[in-house]
Amino acid sequence: MDQPVTLIGYGEAGRTFAQAAGWRSGARAFDVQDLDDLFAEDGISGFPTLAEALANSRLAISLVTADQALVVAQDVAKTIAPGTLFFDMNSVAPDTKRAAAKSIEAAGGRYVDVAIMSPVNPANIAVPLLVSGLHCEAGMTALDALGFTNVRIAGDDVGRASTIKMLRSVMYKGVEALTAECLMACEKAGVTDEVLDSFNNDWSAQADYRLDRMLVHGTRRSAEMAEAVKTLESLGIEPLLTRGTVTRQAALGGLKLGPPPSGLDAKLKAIAK
């Protein structure tokens, strides 16, 4: 890595990327939580303020919660150095990305809309990334240099990459929510095995995984799906089912079971309590 990168938000994605790419002292980080121990463990330079983390860095990656994505971009715009590439990797609606881009570009930064197209684990830096916006080619070159190995350009328009991500999530995370709803009812009715046996093997085999993802990440996924609701509404599509996905993802994520029990039966019993 030829130049330092600033990570804004050091949650699962940020830490996974930093560790997998071996950035260590080549990375600077800021998080609203006190993560000094994690920074030290990973060899990352942590900073108490966003402005300090951005100083002397011309690459910035935003990986925060959906509700903070625009706020962070606006805060970054107050201190960003001209020419800095700002990678917005947050799962938010395209209109949110456009508003963020407006702030960054007005401050002289170069905004890149980035969509993370699958879970960061176990893919880590091989996770598929879609980039879009006027600076997408420069962005792709920089991401390659940072160690990412699966970057594709989606187009020149900010919001295009995030639109693809949001509409894909309507299906994927909607299927998760529908799976949970079906199996929760099956468990109460005592017909789980019979219903699973009636599906093809691929679908049944994925049921445990889908519940697992919701129990671990449901709260974050609910926030993402709230952005998917905004995306559908901006396209003139009434998000009847996606609103339900928001609710179901939030409900399972809100159970806070810790590491989910192993096996579908154990998960369903834990959910039913």
Res 50: pLDDT: 97
- Residue spans of the domains in the chain: they are 5-157, 162-272
Res 258: pLDDT: 85
Q: Tell me the mean pLDDT in the region 128-133.
A: 98
Short-list 250, 241, 251, CA closest to 222: 250
Res 1: pLDDT: 62
Res 12: pLDDT: 93
- Residue 208 CA from chain centroid, whole number: 21
The model's pLDDT over 224-257, given as tens digits with 9 standing for 90+, comes to 999 999 999 999 999 999 999 999 999 999 998 8
pLDDT tier for residue 203 given thresholds of 50, 70 and 90: confident
DSSP state of 138: H
Q: Which residue has the tokens 């996974």?
A: 16
What is the percent of the chain with per-residue pLDDT over 70, rounded to a whole number? 100
pLDDT tier for residue 204 given thresholds of 50, 70 and 90: confident
* Residue 9: both structure tokens together: 């938000």
Q: What is the CATH number of domain 5-157?
A: 3.40.50.720
Distance CA(178)–CA(64), nearest Å, equals: 27
Do the strands 110-116 and 129-132 form a parallel or antiparallel pair, or are they unpaired?
A: antiparallel
* Residue 63: both structure tokens together: 């990986």
Distance CA(132)–CA(144), nearest Å, equals: 15
Range with the lowest mean pLDDT among 119-133, 144-158, 256-270? 256-270
pLDDT of 44 strictly over 70: yes
pLDDT tier for residue 80 given thresholds of 50, 70 and 90: very high
Q: Tell me the mean pLDDT in the region 73-97.
A: 97
Cβ atoms of residues 30 and 47 within 8 Å: yes
Short-list 87, 249, 268, CA closest to 185: 268
pLDDT of 201 strictly over 80: no
* Residue 149: both structure tokens together: 């190995």
Q: Does 162-272 carry CATH code 1.10.1040.10?
A: yes
DSSP state of 140: H
pLDDT tier for residue 168 given thresholds of 50, 70 and 90: very high
Mean pLDDT score across all residues of the chain: 95
DSSP H stretches of helix in the chain = 12-21, 36-42, 50-54, 69-77, 94-106, 120-123, 136-146, 160-189, 192-198, 201-234, 240-253, 264-272
Cβ atoms of residues 84 and 32 within 8 Å: no
